[in-house]
Amino acid sequence: MSTLDDVVRVSIQIASSAITLPGFGRPLILPSVDPPFSEPSRLYTDPDDMLDDGFTILDDAYLMAQTLAQQSPRPVDWLVGRRTTASVQERTIRVAGDASAQHKRTLRFTEPATDGDWTIEIDGTPYTYTASSDNITTIRNELLTQIDTAANGIAATPLVLTNEGLVLISDEPFEITDLSAPSGGAADITLVQHVKIAAGATGLWRLDVDGSNCDFVATTATPEDIRDGLVASINALTGTHGAVAVDAAATDTLYVDAGAEFVLTFEEVGPGGTGELNGSGWSYAEGATLAGDWTITIDGVPHTFTATGANTLTEIRDGLRVLIVGGALPVTAADQAVDTDVGLKLTGTAGIPFTATLSDPTEASRMTFVQTFDVTTAAVGLWRLDVGGTNCDETAVVADAEEIRDGLVFEVNALTGTHGATAIEHSTNTSLGFIDSTAETAIALELTPGAGAGTINDAWPWSDSAGGPGGSLAAIEDYNPDWYCLLIPERDKDTIVAFAGDIEAREKIFLAQSSDAAVVASPYTPASPTPDVASRLKDLSYFRTSVWFHDVDAEHKAAAMAGRALPEIPSSITWKWKQLIGVAPTVLTSNQRANLLSKSANSSESRGGRHYSFEGTVASGEFLDIIRGRDKLKSRIQERVFEAQLASPKIPFTDGGIGQIEGASRAAVEESTTEGFIATDPPVEWTVPKAADIPSGDKAKRELLGTNAIKFNAKVQGAIHLAEIRGTVSA
């Protein structure tokens, strides 16, 4: 929609879409149900005309219009609008570990393959295989399958050792609580760690086994001699730490075995010597801690789960879900598996968009937004993933879905530094890939081959909200922008906050009505986790929404206030002390009234037998007459300068031409002074540039903007709401 901002840019700040004059007195009623007409809005001057169009006497829109029309003075007319169809916003979040944070253990199975029970107990849960004439590989594989297929979050894989080995890996902490093999023989299962003398040197070499220093002073730099010396030192102290050292087949390598969890650290003190602990595919690590704050911030409200070192990723995810579900925002959360990882699905309310940010204490961000792409029908040619505006291209030479998927993963990761996302292959679905990012990054899939096909976000939820407040008001403005004050029938916080957010981006106002007892039950508490509607809007410092409390939902107090004040010239009146017709006063205790005012909310009451409004503020605390006066002044300056442009063959870029712009602006400010917005004392201060001082580049562009703009500084008249008169009388 084109506005006068394209011709005249006016910025007026209040220190503490242009609208034609009738618009400043015109409300927009936006019913929650479809009106009996198809266009985005319709203009009315009489409630009876609405009945003729098909509204009923019970419709909220009709009742609000009737309340508008009862006021004295009353609006000349009002718009009734139609809402657009609303859709729901969804986001999927992955909560995952990474390689540096994983918990790993390696087990060794020692011959002979004795018949009987072989048991690995993890976190108190036993996994047992009863061997009968089996070899050691079969025993290992049977236990591996039991552990790998159990719902324990642990992946089990084979490892080739001098004997058979087994590696256990999990994103979450786990403990080997017992190991046992059939008694009466040399058969055994042990936890094992791997030590390699990578480069020998003379001097002190040390292995710390569960706090016991096992030292060997090398007199030669031969790795085998150093290895043998460390083995002997460890075994000499077996009675202290419980572990046993064994030579490996490689002459520079040894194993350290124990029947229970143990900590091994490796030090090489010999100058020039180097060693390696649990390298070359070995896995034995406690993992990085997940302790700290895991936070999902939605619409500026943080939901933080503080994990201890003992919390698992599942517990962290569950904690965040409980916080979001129990919160006050119009967003819910549910568990959502993301391949082999745990995750959350965030779901908003239809038509109400939300923003979300993520943070976690791990070195690599392990809580991410996740989207998917799927090569559903492979074809040769160009496949493109647009990730946050960055094209990640893969040219397929064969029609193979897995190769195309892998190519796109590679291309996305090659440009991670540009768009900030990473791509991950699905563990089992060869055509499916994930795009992970710490921010909400839009992705799109494009492909040129006519026979190919792909999808994004098919199985994992990811969608943006459409319609709702933003879509509805945009459609109405495109059709008829000539209105100023929004009125809706809903009283719930979520709907009010959603419309307030959209109004904040427009030069209009919104009078919302709430009957929530929490508004008057307690004083304002900044950033409360469960704020009432007035507190939430005050937290957001909204300048264009005014909350009116009334305990009778069937009465439309916000509409009454709009009907009474909008017909007046902006800033010629205050919105306090106005008598309202057709609605009852709200009865409040002194504490309730104070609580209401602490949240910059409003109502009406009866005092001295008169029913009047108070206080006439928006959520930020500014007064409605100041907001409305500022909006009208901006609009008048735009209109007068625009008219000056139309009336002249041209306005030259000279002092005289700049004076024409100044004169039109001054006329608008003087009009505002007459109407009661701008004060005459002190006088308005003007700063007008000289043509000779304006850079030639700006002159060439024919723009009087920025540092070259005409500026004024003025005080507003304001209004007296409370007066104290002190007098003395004497006999």
Q: Are both 615 and 647 inside the same structural domain?
A: no
**Single-letter residue type at 704:** L
Q: Is residue 4 part of a domain?
A: no
Residues 6+ apart with CB under 8 A from 74: 68, 563, 564, 567
Residues 6+ apart with CB under 8 A from 58: none
**Single-letter residue type at 264:** L
Contact assessment for residue 147 and residue 120, using Cβ atoms and an 8 Å cutoff: yes
Of residues 251, 253, 211, 214, the one with CA closest to residue 236: 214
8-state DSSP, 237: T
Of residues 506, 509, 497, the one with CA closest to residue 575: 509
Alpha helical stretches, state H, 13-135:
47-53, 60-70
**Torsion sign over Cα 585, 586, 589, 594:** negative
Q: Are both 116 and 240 inside the same structural domain?
A: yes
d(CA 443, CA 465): 16
Q: Are both 427 and 477 inside the same structural domain?
A: no
Q: Check: pTM over 0.75? Answer yes or no.
A: no
Q: Are both 350 and 409 inside the same structural domain?
A: yes
Q: Are both 230 and 335 inside the same structural domain?
A: no
Q: Are both 77 and 119 inside the same structural domain?
A: no
**Single-letter residue type at 164:** E
Q: Tell me how far CA of residue 568 lies from CA of 313, 436, 518, 551, 571, in angstroms.
A: 60, 55, 33, 27, 8
Q: Tell me how far CA of residue 219 lies from CA of 222, 223, 225, 245, 269, in angstroms.
A: 9, 11, 9, 21, 12
Residue 720 has what pLDDT?
61
CA dihedral (135, 137, 143, 145) in degrees, to 10, reads: -130
d(CA 398, CA 409): 17
Residue range of the domain that includes 726 = 642-731
Could you tell me which residues are beta bridge partners of residue 338? 341
Q: Is residue 11 part of a domain?
A: no
Q: Are both 120 and 193 inside the same structural domain?
A: yes
Q: Is residue 647 part of a domain?
A: yes
Contact assessment for residue 381 and residue 395, using Cβ atoms and an 8 Å cutoff: yes
Question: Residue 102 class from Cβ within 10 Å (0-12 exposed, 13-18 middle, 19+ buried)?
Answer: middle
Neighbours of 330 (CB within 10 A): 20
pLDDT per position as a tens digit, 55-95: 999 999 999 999 999 999 999 999 999 998 878 889 999 98
Token digits for 707? Answer: 């540092």
Q: Are both 495 and 577 inside the same structural domain?
A: yes
pLDDT per position as a tens digit, 8-25: 555 545 444 444 444 688
Total number of domains constituting the chain: 4
DSSP state letters, 655-674: HHHHHHHHHHHHHHHHHHHH
Contact assessment for residue 27 and residue 484, using Cβ atoms and an 8 Å cutoff: yes
Q: Is residue 295 part of a domain?
A: no
Of residues 127, 117, 209, the one with CA closest to residue 166: 127
Residue 270 has what pLDDT?
62
The reply to whether omega before 73 is within 30° of 0 (cis) is yes
Token digits for 518? Answer: 């929490």
CA dihedral (498, 500, 501, 506) in degrees, to 10, reads: 130
Residue 312 has what pLDDT?
79
Residue 604 has what pLDDT?
96
The domain boundary, picked from 456, 482, 509, lies at 456
Q: Are both 188 and 229 inside the same structural domain?
A: yes
Contact assessment for residue 676 and residue 572, using Cβ atoms and an 8 Å cutoff: yes
d(CA 620, CA 617): 8
Q: Are both 446 and 575 inside the same structural domain?
A: no
**Single-letter residue type at 512:** A
The domain boundary, picked from 456, 491, 514, lies at 456
Q: Is residue 308 part of a domain?
A: no
Q: Is residue 123 part of a domain?
A: yes
8-state DSSP, 689: -
pLDDT per position as a tens digit, 98-140: 555 678 899 988 888 889 999 999 999 999 999 999 999 999 9
Contact assessment for residue 636 and residue 671, using Cβ atoms and an 8 Å cutoff: yes
Residues 6+ apart with CB under 8 A from 665: 637, 640, 641, 710, 712
The domain boundary, picked from 456, 491, 507, lies at 456
DSSP state letters, 452-519: -EEEESSSS--B---SHHHHHHHHHHHH-----EEE-S---HHHHHHHHHHHTTTTSEEEEEE--THH
Residue 565 has what pLDDT?
95
Q: Which phi and psi angles does 531 have, rounded to 5°?
A: -80, 150
Q: Convert 252-273 into a string of H (helix), E (strand) and C (coil).
A: CEEEEEECCCCCEEEEECCCCC
Residues 6+ apart with CB under 8 A from 478: 1, 40
Q: Is 577 left (phi over 0), alpha (psi -120 to 50) or beta?
A: left
Query: Which run of H or E residues covers position 556?
Result: none
In the block, residue with structure tokens 């508490």:
525
Q: Is residue 35 part of a domain?
A: yes
Residue 528 has what pLDDT?
82
Q: Is residue 2 part of a domain?
A: no
Q: Are both 40 and 136 inside the same structural domain?
A: no
What stretches in the chain show pLDDT beneath 70?
1-23, 97-101, 161-162, 184-186, 268-271, 280-281, 287-289, 309, 363-364, 448-450, 466-468, 470, 719-728
Residues 6+ apart with CB under 8 A from 250: 196
Could you tell me which residues are beta bridge partners of residue 129? 118
8-state DSSP, 432: E
Neighbours of 461 (CB within 10 A): 17
- Pairing mode, if any, of strands 432-437 and 367-377? antiparallel
Token digits for 425? Answer: 């292959």
E strands of 260-366, at which residues? 264-268, 274-277, 292-298, 301-307, 332-335, 342-347, 356-359
Token digits for 320? Answer: 């965040």
Q: Are both 655 and 610 inside the same structural domain?
A: no
Q: Which phi and psi angles does 480 have, rounded to 5°?
A: -155, 100
Q: Tell me how far CA of residue 500 lies from CA of 475, 505, 520, in angstroms.
A: 17, 9, 20
